[in-house]
């Protein structure tokens, strides 16, 4: 059932208490008062059909355990030989949300022994090449055969989430000069050099410091990989299921419209427009920082890996995808207790999922693997508790903006020193906003509320007003780090710099 929006009495009491303690702005002459009953627009949203619109397709999990999570059905070495068995499993999934992935069928696309580099005489070398002709055809044949049998057995697939992370960028080739020399000396390379605009791979790509040619190389190699994956994997599936939604992990669009370096501070957005495979672009938004945490993204301060900093960074990455292309987005998100993320013990995990949804995620892809080795600790991996939280977050988001014609209102860059993130979305006759401030340890976002109606916030040196907006408090309360606002569809937030 869609989540109704209840009278925000709890939040109002918190706000009143905060003001009595001096936490609210000294300019306030009185404590914020609770808004009136939910508007008809919100009540209508609660009366929508029960079928969820905003979903996560998960790496692991029990089928039909949670409303807004569908575990992927996996093709592996055994089930590839028996398409009818997987056909039965997908038919047990909800209509419109029959989701699949594969473990092995696509793995050899870039490592076929017939696709190695050639020397000047055309003899094969021991180096993997960038020309994947044989690998593409063999993988394509495997997918065509499987999905032919799968469809004949009555199987259905609505979503296919591929995870192919290999390639031939300078990182994949480990900046190996000998490997780049083998590619450079291949008789087929001159045609590639024409596209690149240079022909010295050993001197400018393998030794990437001091040259941007490695970025040009990586952009072109990612485009080639995406084209090969389209031919080998997506097109055979689309042949039998024309409406399938398809993405590959790590293929997404970017541009200088929003200058966001990747996690190790490489400016990939300078060259090309990025890539996607199938119908959707897809990047992981796990909150990991890599080497950006040693850089001064704002030109003055080291960008430390705090929960808020990494939340703001990931929201800029999401906004970059939304601003750079009209291709819909299927981002990967992790389970909350993922050890490599600063979100593990922070409500900024919940905030990240809310803002990703408001920025226009078409679907979520949830990486929630269970432990697979006796040496591992169960608490380090996904579990029913983390799945429940993810489902509850998407369920609440679905109750607020889960309509087919929803549209994000926020694709602009968030300054690296901003004290808050504000994201909004048109959903029918109204807009829904999420305000998330930078908080000190132990603080809550309600301390930044100056007025419940019109919704007004103060944080740092900024006062933010959402005209016609009113603070709302859907139940259950899933995060204390942000505040929901309902506003007219045409509301434009106003920001005032405080003295």
User: Which pair of tokens denotes residue 344?
Assistant: 């593990």
Classify 348 as helix, strand or coil: helix
Burial class of residue 369 (count of CB atoms within 10 Å of its CB; 0-12, 13-18, 19+): middle
- The pLDDT value recorded for residue 8 is 40
- The pLDDT value recorded for residue 40 is 37
User: Which pair of tokens denotes residue 143?
Assistant: 């997918």
Which stretch of DSSP H or E encloses residue 497? strand 494-497
How confident is the chain (499 residues) per 10-residue block, as mean pLDDT?
40 41 37 41 40 94 94 95 94 94 96 97 96 98 98 97 97 95 98 97 85 95 98 98 98 93 93 96 94 93 96 97 97 96 96 98 96 84 96 97 94 96 96 98 96 98 98 97 97 96
Residue with tokens 């055309």: 122
Give yes or no for a contact between 31 and 448, defined as CB atoms under 8 angstroms apart. Answer: no
Residue with tokens 């960074």: 313
Q: Starting at the earlier edge strand, list the strands of the sheet with 483-488.
A: 407-408, 420-427, 430-437, 483-488, 470-472
Left if phi > 0, otherwise alpha if psi is -120 to 50, otherwise beta: which for 457? beta
Give the long-range contacts of residues 301-304, CB within 8 A, separation 24 or more.
301/417, 303/416
Residue 120 has what DSSP assignment?
Answer: T
Beta bridge partners, 487, equal 431
- The pLDDT value recorded for residue 43 is 34
Burial class of residue 191 (count of CB atoms within 10 Å of its CB; 0-12, 13-18, 19+): exposed
- The pLDDT value recorded for residue 496 is 96
- The pLDDT value recorded for residue 50 is 63
Looking at the domain that runs over 51-404, which CATH code has it been given?
3.20.20
Quickly count: other Cβ atoms within 10 Å of residue 170's Cβ. 22
| Rounded CA separation 250/321 (Å) | 12
List phi, psi (to 5°) of 111.
Answer: -135, 25
Residue 457 has what DSSP assignment?
Answer: E
Domain boundaries, the chain: 51-404
| Closest by CA position to 170, among listed 228, 107, 220 | 220
Give yes or no for a contact between 92 and 161, defined as CB atoms under 8 angstroms apart. Answer: no
List phi, psi (to 5°) of 294.
Answer: -115, 5
Give yes or no for a contact between 373 and 425, defined as CB atoms under 8 angstroms apart. Answer: no
| Rounded CA separation 80/460 (Å) | 57
- The pLDDT value recorded for residue 380 is 86
Burial class of residue 338 (count of CB atoms within 10 Å of its CB; 0-12, 13-18, 19+): buried
Q: Which stretches of 305-441 are DSSP H helices?
A: 307-324, 348-358, 384-401
- The pLDDT value recorded for residue 206 is 85
| Closest by CA position to 150, among listed 72, 76, 87 | 87
pTM here is 0.90
Radius of gyration, CA atoms only, the chain: 25
| Closest by CA position to 466, among listed 487, 449, 451, 450 | 487
Give yes or no for a contact between 328 and 279, defined as CB atoms under 8 angstroms apart. Answer: yes
Nearest 5°: CA angle at 481, between 338 and 400? Answer: 95
């Amino acid at each position: 059932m869609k989540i109704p929006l209840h009278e925000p009495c709890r939040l109002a009491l918190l706000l009143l208490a905060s003001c009595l303690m001096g936490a609210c702005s000294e300019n306030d002459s009185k404590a914020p008062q609770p808004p009136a009953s939910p508007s008809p627009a919100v009540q209508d949203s609660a009366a929508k059909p029960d079928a969820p619109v905003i979903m996560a397709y998960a790496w692991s999990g029990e089928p039909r355990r949670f409303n807004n999570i569908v575990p992927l059905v996996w093709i592996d070495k055994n089930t590839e030989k028996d398409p009818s068995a997987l056909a039965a499993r997908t038919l047990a999934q909800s209509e419109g949300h029959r989701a699949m992935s594969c473990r092995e069928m696509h793995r050899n696309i870039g490592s076929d022994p017939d696709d190695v580099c050639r020397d000047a005489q055309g003899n094969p070398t021991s180096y993997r090449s960038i020309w994947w002709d044989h690998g593409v055809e063999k993988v394509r044949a495997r997918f065509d055969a499987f999905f032919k049998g799968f469809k004949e057995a009555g199987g259905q697939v609505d979503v296919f989430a591929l995870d192919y992370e290999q390639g031939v960028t300078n990182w994949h080739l480990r900046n190996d000069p000998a490997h780049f020399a083998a590619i450079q000396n291949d008789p087929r390379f001159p045609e590639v050099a024409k596209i690149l605009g240079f022909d010295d791979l050993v001197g400018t790509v393998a030794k990437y410091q001091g040259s941007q040619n490695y970025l040009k190389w990586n952009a072109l190699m990612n485009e080639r990989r995406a084209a090969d994956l389209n031919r080998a994997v997506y097109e055979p599936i689309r042949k039998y299921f024309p409406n399938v939604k398809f993405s590959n992990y790590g293929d997404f669009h970017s541009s200088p419209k929003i200058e966001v370096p990747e996690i190790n501070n490489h400016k990939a957005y300078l060259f090309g427009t990025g890539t996607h495979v199938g119908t959707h672009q897809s990047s992981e938004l796990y909150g990991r920082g890599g080497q950006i945490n040693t850089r001064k993204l704002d030109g003055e301060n080291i960008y430390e890996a705090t929960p808020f900093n990494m939340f703001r960074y990931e929201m800029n990455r999401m906004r970059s995808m939304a601003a750079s292309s009209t291709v819909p987005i299927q981002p990967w998100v992790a389970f909350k207790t993922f050890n490599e993320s600063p979100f593990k013990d922070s409500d900024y995990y919940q905030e990240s999922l809310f803002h990703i949804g408001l920025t226009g995620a078409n679907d979520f892809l949830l990486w929630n693997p269970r432990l697979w080795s006796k040496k591992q600790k169960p608490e380090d991996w996904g579990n029913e508790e983390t799945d429940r939280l993810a489902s509850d977050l998407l369920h609440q988001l679905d109750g607020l903006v889960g309509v087919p014609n929803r549209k994000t209102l926020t694709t602009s860059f968030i300054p690296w020193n901003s004290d808050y993130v504000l994201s909004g979305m048109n959903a029918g006759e109204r807009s829904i906003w999420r305000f998330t401030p930078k908080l000190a340890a132990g603080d809550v976002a309600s301390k930044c509320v100056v007025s419940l109606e019109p919704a007004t916030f103060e944080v740092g040196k900024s006062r933010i007003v959402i005209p016609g907006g009113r603070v709302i408090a859907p139940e259950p309360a899933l995060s204390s780090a942000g505040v929901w606002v309902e506003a007219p569809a045409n509301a434009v937030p106003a920001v005032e710099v405080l003295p």
